[in-house]
Amino acid sequence: MSYLWSMLVKAPLIVVSTIVMGTISVLISFADPTGRRQHAVSRAWAQMLLVLGGVTLHVRGMEKLNPNQNYVFIGNHLSLYDTPVVLAAIPHQFLFLVSAKYVKIPFLGTHLRRSGHFPVDSDDLRASLKVMTAAAKRIAERGVSILMFPEGRRAEGAMQEFKEGAAYIAIKAQAPVIPFALRGTREVLPVGSLHIRGGKVDFIIGDPIETRGMTLKDRERLTGLMRERVVQLLEETSAERIPA
């Protein structure tokens, strides 16, 4: 019954809400050079998806964020539902680095381009470097944050090694890194599945990692530190979920 409800009710409603909110976002983009209104639309869309998907979101660590500071947010990647979760949870305006394949999808690609998100082709190192440099510059010029999943793709098992792109951007921008941990989104929507199960999702924000004074020679060390912090957050959450 839950599978039929998901496929016949949840999924169509999510598709419709995505089309409607995406259209609104694109239209707003022509009169919104800062992207703030578009981001507000994206957050409203994300909150809709959590309600439609039957997701209960628990956020912890929000007090660690300075509303006047721009960050590079990084965390683990479990599910397509990670995107609405981070949009709903984080009050800061931020841009994603997304796979270039998504920008080629009709309608979705238009929304991503008009919103200013950065497409990355992992097979083209030179082009990726240019995109990451542009992202670092955007942090300073437009006063927005960047959000990345440094694993590069959704992990079906244990968390994968982090790629160095996030560290590169943070160091170039001299922006603090905010590690976060997601738990529960894989159960809501597993990789390769269309069955949205709903359930509890934890979103935990860690302490900022300062990058001021670092150089690009430090990016390997920073990448290792970022992954270590996310692992620690996941371990803390796992311990809290174990009944006494």
DSSP letter string over the chain? Answer: -HHHHIIIIIHHHHHHHHHHHHHHHHHHHTT-TT-HHHHHHHHHHHHHHHHHTTEEEEEE-GGG--TT---EEEE----TTHHHHHHHH--S-EEEEEEHHHHTSTTHHHHHHHHTPEEE-TT-HHHHHHHHHHHHHHHHHH--EEEE-TTSS--SSSPPPPPSHHHHHHHHHT--EEEEEEESHHHHS-TT------EEEEEEE---B--TT--GGGHHHHHHHHHHHHHHHHHHHHHHHS--
Question: Can you spell out the DSSP letters for 161-187?
Answer: PPPSHHHHHHHHHT--EEEEEEESHHH
Amino acid at 46: A
CB 214 within 8 A of CB 168: no
How far apart are alpha carbons 156 and 179 in whole angstroms?
Answer: 20
The better pLDDT of the pair 1, 164 is held by 164
Share of the chain above pLDDT 90, in %: 59
For residue 112, is pLDDT > 90?
A: no
Within 10 A of 155 (CB to CB), how many other CB atoms are there?
16
> What confidence score (pLDDT) does residue 241 get?
57
Percent of residues, the chain, with pLDDT higher than 70:
97
Q: How many residues does the chain have?
A: 244
Position 244 pLDDT exceeds 60: no
Instruction: Return d(Cα 42, Cα 39) in angstroms, integer.
Output: 5
Q: What is the pLDDT of residues 61-82, one digit of tens each?
A: 999 999 999 999 999 999 999 9
What integer is the mean pLDDT of 179-201? 93
User: Are residues 120 and 96 in contact, defined by beta-carbon separation less than 8 angstroms?
Assistant: no
Q: What is the CATH number of domain 2-241?
A: 3.40.1130
Domain map (residue ranges) of the chain: 2-241
pTM for this entry: 0.91
Residue 194's alpha-carbon distances to 75, 106, 189, 198, in angstroms, are 23, 20, 7, 12
Across the range 117-140, mean pLDDT stands at 85
Q: How far apart are CA 82 and CA 182, in angstroms?
A: 8
Collect all residues with Cβ–Cβ distance below 8 Å to 199 and sequence separation of at least 6.
54, 55, 56, 184, 187, 188
Confidence of residue 126 (pLDDT cuts 50, 70, 90): confident
In angstroms, the Cα distances linking 13 to 2, 35, 119, 189 are 15, 26, 27, 16
